[in-house]
Amino acid sequence: MTDLTSTPPAAPGEMYPQETGFAVLDEIRDAALEQLSPEVVDYLEGGAGTEATLRANRGAFGRWAIKPRPMSGVSGPDTGTEFLGLPLSAPVLTAPFGGDGLFHDGGQIAVARANAACGTASIVPEAGTFSYERVAEAAPAAARIAQLHPFEHFEVSAERARRAGYTTLCVTVDCSTAGFRVRNRTNRFSPDLAYFAGNQDGVGTPQVAEMFERLLGLSTPSWDWGRLAEATSRCALPWIAKGVLTADAAEQAIAAGAAALVVSNHGGRQLDPAPASLDALPEVAAAAAGRVPIALDSGVRTGSDIFTALALGADAVLIGRLAAYGLAAAGEEGVRRTIELLTEELRTVMMLAGTASVSDIDANCLTERPR
Ligand SMILES: Cc1cc2nc3c(=O)[nH]c(=O)nc-3n(C[C@H](O)[C@H](O)[C@H](O)COP(=O)(O)O)c2cc1C
């Protein structure tokens, strides 16, 4: 089988190692999109509404440039860090994405194994193809954060995650109803709900149809910060608020007890038009004022994007679609190669920007491009 997972050293006289597998992230995306049916491509790639948020997420990265620091003396930069006590070989976690078996049979099991191999971490989705338990059994070191929705069964799911060995919850706070997904509507997208039902087989957990009714309905009861604070105070685990884009939401989440924030617009899949995550990051970071760590997702596609997010106040990034491309392209090996390439690019950028460690990356490393 072709080895997709490692970069062999360049032979003498070769400028670049002669890759037999994926050499750049775009090759992984191309391979992924070739594997999938058009409806599943749209489910993966699409955003809500006119996809203004989706486009803005990428546009926001394009407005920043990283300042070169010539003759800095930095070599062998260290990408290692930690997030909420989890050691990470690079400031990268995979975002929770449900329906993962639509992309590859291995689903989040393959994603978690890839994270374990890379020294990074998974946020394991509630609406995934495999249960929290199965993912944790496959890769206990990487599957430590369980994502869940603030719905009726919240405390049952949280307890289930705790028993399966997860040490942190990630509560998606931007999904009181699913975004208006035009591509899925146009396709009459109607996947087998089993792909989203990995966690729907336990006592007290809702049937997957009920979960979808909640996700797609507009009149099912939706929670506020007070209810979330009460429910999480009864759970024995720290929790991350995923889906914060404003100073106000950051304040409310921290007041409700959040141990970390994810600045996210759900990859442009929820409110459209909404602010780009990167544009919202400085406001959220200023409001958090160092009280809790911050991750950013939505639009991260390169190692330089990771650098830019860290410079603007993030401690780590989550990758959603990038991880799904890796999964669809080549299962565990594809996700592993994705994380390797991201890390390799981040190290390159860090060296050229004269930053020896991720803690050296700050706003002084950036300049805004003239408009
Ligand atoms: C196919 C797919 C399914 C997703 N499912 C979930 C989910 O079940 N829960 C959740 O909180 N976020 C979900 N997300 C959002 C991701 O966690 C993340 O916020 C987003 O993908 C980040 O943007 P990016 O794809 O540009 O990296 C999903 C994203 C995708 C692409």
Complete domains list, the chain, with CATH: 55-178+207-368 (3.20.20.70)
Task: Give the Å distance between the CA of 269 and the centre of ligand 1.
Answer: 8
Residue 2's pLDDT is what? 42
CA of 162 to the centre of ligand 1 (A): 22
Return the pLDDT at 160: 95
Positions marked active-site: 266
> Please, are residues 269 and 280 in contact by the beta-carbon 8 Å criterion?
no
Predicted pLDDT at 5: 46
DSSP tag of 24 = S
In contact, 229 and 173? CB cutoff 8 Å: no
pLDDT recorded at residue 138? 98
Closest CA to 52 of 363, 271, 336: 271
Residue 9: count other Cβ atoms within 10 Å of its Cβ.
8
* Burial status of residue 131 (CB atoms within 10 A of its CB: 0-12, 13-18, 19 or more): buried
Q: Which helix or strand (DSSP H or E) is residue 296 part of?
A: strand 294-296
pLDDT tens string, the chain, 371 residues long: the values are: 444 445 566 666 666 655 558 999 999 999 999 999 999 999 999 999 999 999 999 999 999 999 999 999 999 999 999 999 999 999 999 999 999 999 999 999 999 999 999 999 999 999 999 999 999 999 999 999 999 999 888 999 999 999 999 999 999 999 999 999 999 999 999 999 999 999 987 656 666 777 777 777 787 788 999 999 999 999 989 999 999 999 999 999 999 999 999 999 999 999 999 999 999 999 999 999 999 999 999 999 999 999 999 999 999 999 999 999 999 999 999 999 999 999 999 999 999 999 999 999 999 999 999 98
**What ranges in 119-195 are assigned the alpha helix state H?**
132-138, 154-163, 182-186
Q: Which atom of ligand 1 is nearest to the CA of 43?
A: 1
Q: Measure the CA–CA gap between 63 and 368, rounded to whole angstroms.
A: 6
Nearest ligand 1 atom to alpha carbon 123: 17
Atom of ligand 1 nearest to the CA of 170: 11
Ligand 1 pocket test, candidate residues 183, 196, 216, 266, most atoms within 8 A of CB: 266
Give the N- to C-terminal CA distance of the chain in Å, as an integer.
48
Q: Please give the number of the atom of ligand 1 that sits closest to the Cα of 102.
A: 1
- 70 Cα: distance to centroid of ligand 1 (angstroms): 38
**Max CA separation in the chain (angstroms):** 66
Ligand 1 binding site (Cβ under 6 Å of any ligand atom): 43-44, 95-99, 125, 127, 147, 172, 242, 264, 266-267, 269, 297-300, 319-322, 324
Pocket test for ligand 1, best of 269, 270, 281 (most atoms within 8 A of CB): 269
* pLDDT computed for residue 1 by the predictor: 40
Contacts of residue 240, defined as CB under 8 A and 6 or more positions apart, other chains included, come to 84, 145, 168, 169, 170, 171, 258, 259, 260, 261, 262, 295
b/e 211-224 (16+ beta carbons within 10 angstroms → b): bbebbeeeeeeebe
Q: Whose CA is nearest to atom 4 of ligand 1?
A: 97
Q: What is the pLDDT of residue 127?
A: 94
The protein residue with its alpha carbon nearest to ligand 1, atom 15, reads: 266
Nearest atom (ligand 1) to Cα of 96:
17
- In this predicted structure, what is the pLDDT of residue 215? 74
SS3 content of the chain, % helix, strand, coil (to 5): 45, 15, 45
Query: 21 alpha carbon to ligand 1 midpoint, in Å?
Result: 27
**pLDDT for the residue 212:** 75
Q: Whose CA is nearest to atom 6 of ligand 1?
A: 97
